Amino acid sequence: MRFQAGIPTVFSGLLLASKISALPVGAEQQPIFLPEAELHDPTSYALYPLQSTIRDVLHKHLVIGDVLDDFEPSYYLDIKYPKNHESVLLGNDIPVDSVSSRPVFTFHSIDAAYSPPRKSDKHKKSAFTLILTDPDAKSRDNPKWSEMCHWILTNLTTPVAPDPPRLLKAKAGEIEEYLPPGPPPKTGAHRYVFVLLEGDTTSLKAPKDRKHWGYDKPRHGVRDWAKDNGLTVVGANFFYAENEKQ
């Protein structure tokens, strides 16, 4: 199941997530249909389980499984590619041409969506790292180069919740330069997975190689690197991209 993006608001990711939550993704999950007007009011999100929706979608596309161990998302990653106004929306298709330069992003504590952020937010002093990885190199059926590390941006702090949310540009802290996704011809759609990691970033180093994140074995990557560096997965988002020649 893949989605075509097309909702040009800052909360588009949340909007899409609310639509996904209306699909039969799990027996325990009750579909909730919000009136159009309420979709623009962030307090409405308290009404449905965004956290389990994100997790269900990550499971469904085997992002949890192939790339990450099971986890409870505590942040929503809002990522946009400004060039052609594309947003990363938990598994939508984005043309390769749109992802040729760095995205802008922000991340929201999912709990903070339920109540105004307090000054004593326990995550305030946390440091974060954002990565982009391709588990489907060379292809999803033949992942012999996977995972391929595309980006590591570290020393991020929790953005103070401005209204409307401001998207951050990559600045200092890039320990692995952004490598634009370039899936080879005839290798089908690749999943490009952003992962938000939390933990000490003061002495983080890039992996020794982009291929397999330096682990010399297919299907190894950010999971190993995060573990070796004591980082915890707190959020993820992803899109699909494929070469025009299939």
Ligand X SMILES: *[C@@H]1O[C@H](CO)[C@@H](O)[C@H](O)[C@H]1NC(C)=O
Beta carbons of 129 and 116 less than 8 angstroms apart? no
Closest CA to 159 of 104, 239, 210, 224: 104
Cβ-based nearer residue to ligand X, 232 or 246? 232
Residue 175 makes contact with ligand X by CB under 6 A: yes
**With DSSP H G I counted as helix, E B as strand and the rest as coil, what are the percentages for the chain, rounded to 5?**
20, 25, 55
Closest CB 155 distance from ligand X, rounded Å? 4
Closest CB 108 distance from ligand X, rounded Å? 23
Contact set for ligand X, span 180-239 (CB under 6 A)? 201-202
Cβ-based nearer residue to ligand X, 97 or 200? 200
Cβ-based nearer residue to ligand X, 40 or 205? 205
Cβ-based nearer residue to ligand X, 161 or 175? 175
Please report, in angstroms and rounded to a whole number, the separation of the first and last CA atoms in the chain. 19
Side by side, which strands form the sheet with 174-176?
3-4, 92-93, 232-241, 190-198, 127-134, 148-157, 174-176
Contact set for ligand X, span 132-161 (CB under 6 A)? 154-155
Closest CB 96 distance from ligand X, rounded Å? 28
Give the C-alpha separation, 105 to 222, whole Å.
19
In the complex, the residues that contact ligand X under the rule CB under 6 A are 154-155, 172-173, 175, 201-202
